[in-house]
Structure 1
């Protein structure tokens, strides 16, 4: 069972979050302050932490920094502070998400699931060779073949194809691809992604104008299929 540590010094918020998490099937551990949070995490561990940013006494930032010093556990900051600067600070420090109070329960649950899914994907060993349909990719040698024939891919095209092959059969949104291949602050955005998809299709598709493998999911993103 996935264990969630809730760190909040407001009894009402803490109890509400506990009920919501329990109803979703999570095992819940709670802490009322920073000292308690660190003790609970070190004693019982946790798969994800919901951390109030404005704790009394030892504040949430200090707790966050101490946790990050020794652990990569996913942390979602939950705060009544709605200023952009607070959100940017939390995310730049390494928070996995930032949720503003008051929030909708279903939205928070969806964010938790997304953070846990991303964390588990990162923790999975990455295969050093991928094969899907006519394409074979050797990660270590930076080599790609289509039907046994070598093709040359610059780094970004290679990384983009790597993401598509690793998630073969799954839809990847445009934002997911931009985040993982270029980084969230890449200025060219969707236009660059479309350009690289077009170049990839020219190199791997039997008929680039009618793609069979890299399929556009209109309004969402792309899926690799074979």
Structure 2
């Protein structure tokens, strides 16, 4: 784990003491600092006081639905939020992600996968260049978001405007789930939220041009029924 990761503070908002204890032990074993809250009101207060680097949020809190807390957090900052919930319906996941959560983990969950998701969200985003624009590179693929240039091993990759827009939005939220409706609203407009086939075609073209195998992805991972995630920073 990087030093930045070791210094990160994580706030757990969950009313189940055993879940908080399990997460606290697991996160501290990885070098994270941990703060806890057992209710929505306490969670918001602790967040304001401690300014955590990441929030783990249960939806089933005793004094309010977790999405109320999510809305309050989003009004304060863009802190990454992982939602933990027993609610496992596709509709619930999409609604929560569209409301501003960065990831959604269903209880019960495997701790190693959970910790990987934490690392994903804490990992540094693409660094700004001298012009203030972000560039992603892994030594193989390079995407200059400001100049709208893509290359692999120094060879230009020609993308359409929509293909670049989708890739750029996913890279801008690297490691996080971006829902289909978020992508469609941002890139095609609010009248195209049902046109998921547009997105599937563009993702297919991107995978073809980047040589990305959907069954063993290096860059673009499908979150079935929810959206997509750029995982290049993990490779």
Aligned residue in 2 for 1:211:
none
Q: Deviations over 1:31-87 (max 9, x none)?
A: 011111111111111000000100001221111111111210000000111122211
Aligned residue for 2:200, secondary structure, equals coil
* 1:121 counterpart (120, 125, 129): 125
Matches of 1:111 and 1:96, distance apart in 2: 10
Corresponding position: 1:62 with 2:68: yes
Corresponding position: 1:193 with 2:200: no
Matches of 1:52 and 1:65, distance apart in 2: 13
Aligned residue in 1 for 2:51:
45
Per-residue deviation, 1:216: 6.5
Structure 1 residue runs of 5 or longer lacking an equivalent are: 146-150, 167-171, 198-213
Name the CA shift for 1:215/1:20 in 2 (closer, same or farther; >3 Å).
same
Corresponding position: 1:17 with 2:14: no
Per-residue deviation, 1:89: 1.1
Name the CA shift for 1:88/1:152 in 2 (closer, same or farther; >3 Å).
closer
Matches of 2:26 and 2:164, distance apart in 1: 42
Corresponding position: 1:139 with 2:146: yes
Aligned residue in 1 for 2:11:
5
Name the CA shift for 1:129/1:34 in 2 (closer, same or farther; >3 Å).
closer
Name the CA shift for 1:30/1:156 in 2 (closer, same or farther; >3 Å).
same
Structure 2 residue runs of 5 or longer lacking an equivalent are: 1-6, 152-156, 188-195, 220-231
Matches of 2:14 and 2:145, distance apart in 1: 47
Name the CA shift for 1:21/1:192 in 2 (closer, same or farther; >3 Å).
same
Matches of 1:80 and 1:192, distance apart in 2: 35
Instruction: Tell me which structure has the larger Cα radius of gyration.
Output: 1
TM-score, reference length from structure 2 = 0.63
Aligned residue in 2 for 1:93:
99
* 2:217 counterpart (199, 209, 220): 220
Aligned residue for 2:201, secondary structure, equals coil
What are the residue-to-residue correspondences of 1:197-208 with 2, within 5 Å?
Answer: 197=209
Matches of 1:37 and 1:10, distance apart in 2: 13
More divergent stretch after superposition (153-162 vs 65-74): 153-162
Superposed CA RMSD in Å reads 4.2
CA contact under 8 A between 2:128 and 2:134: conserved in structure 1? Answer: no
Aligned residue in 2 for 1:169:
none
Matches of 1:138 and 1:99, distance apart in 2: 30
Aligned residue for 1:187, secondary structure, equals helix
CA contact under 8 A between 2:11 and 2:37: conserved in structure 1? Answer: yes
